[in-house]
Amino acid sequence: METVQDITIQPDQLKKFAEELYQKAGVDTEHAKLMADLQVETDLRNVHSHGTRMLPGYIRSISKGEINPVPQVHVVQEGPAFAVIDGDNGLGHPSSVLAMKMAIEKAQLVGVAATGVRNAGHFGAAACYSMMAAESNMIGFSTTNTGRATVVAPGGITPVTANNALSYALPTGNEHPIVLDMACGASSWGKIGTLKMYGEPIPEDWLLNTEGQPTVDPSQGPILMPAAGPRGYGLALTMGILAGPLVGGLMACHKNHGEPSEHFFWVINVSSFTNFEEYVAEIDRGIRTIQASKTTEGIDQVYLPGELEWRKREAWLANGIPLHVDHLKGLASIAEELGIEIFWE
């Protein structure tokens, strides 16, 4: 979605700027760098809704005392194939990275491992964590139970689940990893914000108003329909239990605004199940078969999950990231509040 409303920003400059903003807000150097790296990487993958556009909101939550900028992240339960981490009400990304690192290390020893995070903030794009496993030649999974309920069950008008995201990342050989990253609602709220920002229409079957009537106006539609009806609802509910009561949190239907989020991760060590080289050879062969499959009129190619994001990343690493002017205004506003100069004027 590149338009005249966009300004091209170099990723290294954006990382440095984001890191400086977090440090000025009181986040320690290690966590500030991690946040900047993950959010700019998300922008590079054209998932701006979960990249640096979220930075002002995170920092304002810190300034309001809703998020702890210097959490003492710690393990509260652990065994050979599992761990539960308390995020100490800090930003969700650092505790989630730790959780996925622990899951990878444990899966190297025992084949399969799962970890959870409780008492933490929003963790951004779910793919940030599943992709860590794929980089280690493992299959990764991540999900979240984020915030209060905003998604209805089919036939209902009272939200009963959060719009929980889930992501799988599957390692490959010469091809890019297959990366599925999806919301369980009809869309992510961030995607709705992106469409609004660019003046694009909201599909008619996404939002409901408080009376349960369909609307295409995000300001009048605080309720989200589930993706694919009962399927999306079932996924959202299940994800919210894995990344909720299982790790010591609440179900979204029992949360109030501003309560912490929980996250859940698991990893499969491919080499524990089969020969890794044979596995990736077959996956790569399957990718090429799918890419070469016949298409309907006017369609050049079908794509694997995550393929479009990989293509954007390659192009934008070389040429810069196009960001909407309102996205940059949001960053400029928080920079002004913190007394930091912007670099793109």
pLDDT at 258: 79
User: Taking CA 76 as the corner, what is the angle to CA 123 and CA 254, rounded to the nearest 5 degrees?
Assistant: 55
1-70+313-345: what fold?
Answer: Hypothetical Oxidoreductase Yiak; Chain: A, domain 1 (1.10.1530)
d(CA 336, CA 8): 21
d(CA 132, CA 107): 13
User: Collapsing DSSP states into helix, strand and coil, what is residue 305?
Assistant: coil
pLDDT at 4: 73
CATH number of 72-185+227-292: 3.30.1370.60
Q: How confident is the model at residue 3 (pLDDT cuts 50, 70, 90)?
A: low
Indicate the residue type of 1. M
Q: Which two tokens stand for residue 14?
A: 């954006």
pLDDT at 345: 76
pLDDT at 331: 98
Over residues 48-60, the pLDDT tens digits come to: 999 999 999 999 9
Q: Is the pLDDT of residue 32 over 70?
A: yes
pLDDT at 257: 80
Share of the chain above pLDDT 70, in %: 99
Indicate the residue type of 335. A
The answer to whether the beta carbons of residues 106 and 78 sit under 8 Å apart is no
d(CA 75, CA 131): 22
Q: Which two tokens stand for residue 266?
A: 């698991």
Over residues 83-141, the pLDDT tens digits come to: 999 999 999 999 999 999 999 999 999 999 999 999 999 999 999 999 999 999 999 99
Q: Where are the beta strands (DSSP E) in 200-301?
A: 207-208, 214-215, 223-224, 261-269
The answer to whether the beta carbons of residues 99 and 263 sit under 8 Å apart is yes
Q: Which residue has the tokens 């390692």?
A: 171
Which ranges constitute the DSSP H helices of 243-306? Answer: 276-291
User: Taking CA 190 as the corner, what is the angle to CA 339 and CA 46, rounded to the nearest 5 degrees?
Assistant: 85
Q: Is the pLDDT of residue 165 over 80?
A: yes
The answer to whether the beta carbons of residues 160 and 149 sit under 8 Å apart is yes
Q: Which two tokens stand for residue 295?
A: 């298409």
d(CA 115, CA 122): 17
Domain borders along the chain are 1-70+313-345, 72-185+227-292
pLDDT at 335: 98
How many angstroms separate the Cα of 192 from the Cα of each of 76, 126, 176, 252, 307?
37, 17, 28, 21, 22
Residue 78 DSSP symbol: E
